[in-house]
Every structure is written in structure tokens, then in C-alpha cells.
Amino acid sequence: RILQEILTNVARHAQATEVEVILEESPEFLTLQVGDNGRGMTESEIHSPKSIGLLGMQERARLQAGEVQFYGTPDRGTTVTVRLPIFN
């Protein structure tokens, strides 16, 4: 569901022409990284209480003891990293 929300945000807001999705598994974590070449999220957008989709991603990750990080660079794109622990 988090990946779906990330891709929806890229389609709606990023004005990107490329998206890269990387999924990696280590013994302790599952890491999802999604990067685009769009306009880049601003700090104010990342921390805005109106960014319901971003808040929803963070909440979903927290429910699994994970985290979501957003990195935006103006005119260079945005990278979203989701890290979830693997419970054995």
C-alpha cells in the first residue's frame, strides 16, 4: 500500500518522466527505495499537516515498527525510502 501511495504521488505531483523502484532484503530489514526525476518535494511539503498521503505512509510504516524518509531536491526529483524490520 505504501508503494501504491508513493507512485500515486509521483503521478499526481512530481512531473517526473522516470521512476526507479528498488527493493532490498537484508537479514534484519526490508528496504524500499523509490526515486523520480521530477520537480522535487520541498521541506514545507514534506512537513505539511495537509500532506495526508505522506502522513498515511508514515503511519503504516510505524504500525510495522518501520520508518519512511523523504528527500527532495529542487528540479532533480524526490527519493522516498521505506525501511521495515523483518520479524522471524
Tens digit of pLDDT for each residue in 14-51? Answer: 999 999 999 999 999 999 999 999 999 999 999 999 99
How far apart (Å, rounded) are the C-alpha atoms in residues 12 and 28? 33
How far apart (Å, rounded) are the C-alpha atoms in residues 62 and 26? 19
Instruction: Give the pLDDT of residue 87.
Output: 86
How far apart (Å, rounded) are the C-alpha atoms in residues 77 and 71? 8
**3 state DSSP class of 46:** helix
